[in-house]
Amino acid sequence: MKILLLDKNHPLITEQLSAKGFLFEEDFTSAYEDVLKKIGHYDGIIIRSRIPIDQNFLEHAKNLKFIARVGAGMENIDVEFAKKSGIQLISSPEGNRDSVAEHVLGMLLILMHRLFISSQEVKNGIWKREENRGDEILGKTVGLIGYGNMGKAVAKRFSGFGCKVIFHDILPDIGDEFATQVSLDTLKKEADILSIHLPITKETHYIIDEKFIAEMAKDFYFINTARGKNVKTNDLVKALKSGKVKGAALDVLEFEKASFENLDTENDDLQFLLQSEKVIVTPHIAGWTVQSKQKLAQVIVDKILAQFSGH
């Protein structure tokens, strides 16, 4: 099978698959139109986010048997058309779930205990104790929306903090020893901390908006390591200003480019997030560790071999 690599990934992908007889071509720079001209020659592609795999792309990919995304989200792919075309879709959310879970806890602890703020103050000769009094996770209720690979890994990490963990998911009966499944109304009533772990779909686009925030019974901390467009930023900013959202830890932003490599806009809402002491922002790196780079690649290799090793 001939495979086209459209993004740089861990070298174990080519090393292990080449050893099993797969053939590779790397193209990390060609634009969309140039890739179209040759995509018909390949049986598989391995991607991250650089090239959109839309219907037009797939119509040119006459021999394509699989698309492997090194990561979790598939929003860069026309999934429905790919399935209709008989193309196997492979992703690797198992590979970076532990990285995401640690990032959630890290951002939340920094936010609630004012670690970054107080450290910067001390480094600048400012010694404030009462103003930097922290807030504990112990005794709080953590609400997760989405209980797939990421949500489950996050719940497991929270289990040692003496808090109650609840979640809402569209799939029924998937609770475990780390979290209890509840209705969305119950989650909104009980949660002190809200963390979302959702793909971006028509149903989840702007799921966190003014109405949702208003329906939360308590003032709450908010964490987003999923997708920026799950959240209507302007409504989040209003809630931060009013105090309804006590603090926000954001690894993803509504204003990211489709490739997640940079921001594509500047506006007052973004500037507020970047300047507010109530907000922590990181550059879409929750799933981005030394270990996850290798694990993401290994999951992809294992899944390709499981399905196509005899071809």
DSSP bridge partners of 221:
193, 247
Can 284 be counted among the known catalytic residues? yes
Residue 84: CA count within 13 A, CB half-sphere: 9
Residue 290: CA count within 13 A, CB half-sphere: 0
Which of 10, 157, 227, 254 is catalytic? The answer is 227
Burial class (CB in 10 A: 0-12, 13-18, 19+), 34: exposed
The Cα 134–Cα 27 span in angstroms is 49
The Cα 69–Cα 71 span in angstroms is 6
| Polymer length of the chain | 311
The Cα 141–Cα 137 span in angstroms is 8
Give residue 299's identity as a one-letter amino acid code.
V
Can 256 be counted among the known catalytic residues? yes
Cα 161 to the chain's mean position, in Å?
23
Which of 69, 97, 254, 256 is catalytic? The answer is 256
Task: Find all residues with CB under 8 Å of 260, minimum gap 6, and list them.
Answer: 49, 252, 284
DSSP bridge partners of 92:
none
Can 227 be counted among the known catalytic residues? yes
**Dihedral sign for Cα atoms in the order 251, 254, 258, 264:** negative
Which of 10, 48, 197, 284 is catalytic? The answer is 284
Known catalytic residues are 227, 256, 284
